[in-house]
Amino acid sequence: MSEVTIKSIAKALQLSPATISRALNDSHEIKQSTKDRVLAYAKAHNYQPNTFAKNLKTGKTNLIGVVIPFLSSPFFLEFIEELYKAVLPLHYTLLPFQTQNQEKLEEEALHFLLSQNVAGIISSPAHENSNITLLKRIHEFHCPIILFDRIQHSLDTHKIGIHNSLETYNATEELIKKGRTKIAFLCGKDIGNTKDRIRGYKNALLNHAIPFVEDYVIYADYQNPNEAIDSEIRQVLCDLQQRDLLPDAIVGGTDTLSIKILGVLADLHLAVPEDVAVIGFTNTNLADYLNPALSTIRQPTQKMAQLAVELLLELIEKKRHNTEIAYKSYLLPSHTVHRKSSAI
């Protein structure tokens, strides 16, 4: 790394390393003239403090670990981008990791973050209670953790998300009000918020006296490769069609699925929204340009990210002072944009 160290500066300026260290840290016990000399020299010789030594000594970092399922999902991507914006002025650095929804990879990511001695972690867990023991241990003994999006996880901490059942209820109801009755719900297998979203979907049907059809809840397994998911969904729809049970509307329960379904329906030569109306959870900026333009339930990624950082820094501060903490769940309002795919 760098050759210029506190020691070398000390030698050059005929001062002790301690003085240099204090001067660089702007300690009040160093007189201004000395500080000036040291700072000038440090700047001139491009002194870079050794992070590792500093960390070894202090046990603190300005790193924030981020653990998400997929970077390629528009929602998570947007969230991460907002996180970057939020931490930039605060001089914290993000260490982002993907779990691919796999508990094992999540565990590895968490271990790595521990080894980097991150100041805190922001995560959307792989599964409902994935790595709960590890997360609890980290949260209690190492650094605070904040959960977002998949907030059904039982870790006791601040959680940031949306009102999943309500949003799904509203989306489903909208389709009902437009006269659709054979409404399917497309959702991810083993994903934390799926349950809540299904609940909203079911409640909407119930309140409008539409019988719930088990087969209309379609699960996609994210462990499978992309093409497999596509053909799986297509197969399910074909089966339903043959049994004369083709849905006349679909609520997309995740980012990825909401987009995919457009392709599948096109493949099956079904017209959207005429044959099948679609509305889905997704944060893609391309919703307007999709074919047809996709009605979306958009999560407030910017607010979520800002709140996540704010709460995390607060926790980091409080942990230092051992303050008592009451954890809260923050359910932020989503924003539904109605486009052609549900314009019946």
Partner DNA sequence: TTGTAGGCGTTATCAG
Partner DNA sequence: CTGATAACGCCTACAA
203 binds, among DNA, its own copies, none (CB under 5 to 8 A by kind): none
Q: Which residues contact 314 (CB under 8 A, 6 or more apart)?
A: none
Q: Which residues contact 259 (CB under 8 A, 6 or more apart)?
A: 74, 252, 280, 282, 284, 290, 294
22 touching DNA, by CB under 7 A: yes
Q: How far is the CB of 140 from DNA (least distance, A)?
A: 18
Tokens of 155: 């870790």
d(CA 75, CA 300): 9
Instruction: Tell me which of its own copies, DNA, none is bound by residue 301, counting a contact when its beta carbon lies within the kind-specific cut-off of 5 to 8 angstroms.
Output: none
CB of 51 to its own copies, least distance (A): 5
Which of 11, 16, 195, 239 is the binder for DNA (CB under 7 A)?
A: 16
CA distance 297 to 161: 13
Can residue 264 be called a binding residue for DNA (CB under 7 A)? Answer: no
Q: Residue 130 — left, alpha, or beta (φ > 0 → left; ψ -120 to 50 → alpha)? A: beta
Q: Which of its own copies, DNA, none interacts with 240 (beta carbon under 5 to 8 A by kind)?
A: none
Of 24 and 344, which CB lies nearer to DNA in the complex structure?
24
**Token code pair at residue 302:** 């910017």
CA 261/CA 268 separation, integer angstroms: 11
Residues of this chain that interact with its own copies (CB under 8 A) are 1-2, 48-53, 55-56, 59, 71-72, 77-78, 80-81, 84, 93, 95-96, 98, 111-112, 114-117, 142, 259, 262-263, 266, 284, 286, 288-293
Contact between 124 and 149 (Cβ < 8 Å): yes
Site for DNA in 24-63 (CB under 7 A): 24-25, 28-34, 47, 49-50, 53-54, 56-58
Measured from the CB atom, is 115 or 242 closer to DNA? 115
Between 72 and 207, name the residue whose CB sits nearer to its own copies: 72
Q: Which two tokens stand for residue 158?
A: 């601040």
- Residue 322 Cβ, how far from DNA at the closest point, in Å? 17
Structure tokens at 305: 């990210």
Amino acid making up residue 26: D
CA-to-CA dists, residue 34 to 6, 30, 39, 41, 43, angstroms? 14, 7, 8, 11, 14
Answer yes or no whether residue 133 interacts with DNA by CB under 7 A: no
Q: At closest approach, how far in Å is the CB of 145 from DNA?
A: 22
Q: Are strands 329-332 and 277-281 parallel, antiparallel or unpaired?
A: unpaired
If phi over 0 gives left and psi between -120 and 50 gives alpha, with beta otherwise, what is residue 179? left
Our finding on whether 88 is near DNA (CB under 7 A) is no
CB-nearer residue toward DNA: 34 or 100: 34
Interaction partner, residue 284 (DNA, its own copies, none; CB < 5-8 Å by kind) = its own copies
Tokens 């790394």 found at: 1
For the four alpha carbons of 9, 11, 14 and 15, in that order, the dihedral sign comes to: positive
- Here's the x/- map for DNA, 224-243, by CB under 7 A: it reads as --------------------
Residue 149, SS3?
coil
| CA–CA dist 272, 291 (Å, integer) | 9
Segment interacting with DNA (CB under 7 A) among 11-19, 128-136, 144-152, 210-218: 11-19
Angstrom distance (rounded) from CA 190 to CA 220: 9
The tokens of 140 are what?
């209690």
Q: Look-up: residue for tokens 């509307």?
A: 249
Rounded to a whole number of angstroms, the minimum distance from the CB of residue 100 to DNA is 30
Q: Which does 243 bind (CB under 5 to 8 A by kind): DNA, its own copies, none?
A: none
User: Please, which residue, 3 or 244, has the CB nearer to DNA?
Assistant: 3
* Residue 299: contacted member of its own copies, DNA, none (CB under 5 to 8 Å, by partner type): none
Q: Give the footprint of DNA on this chain (CB under 7 A).
A: 1, 5-7, 14-19, 21-22, 24-25, 28-34, 47, 49-50, 53-54, 56-58
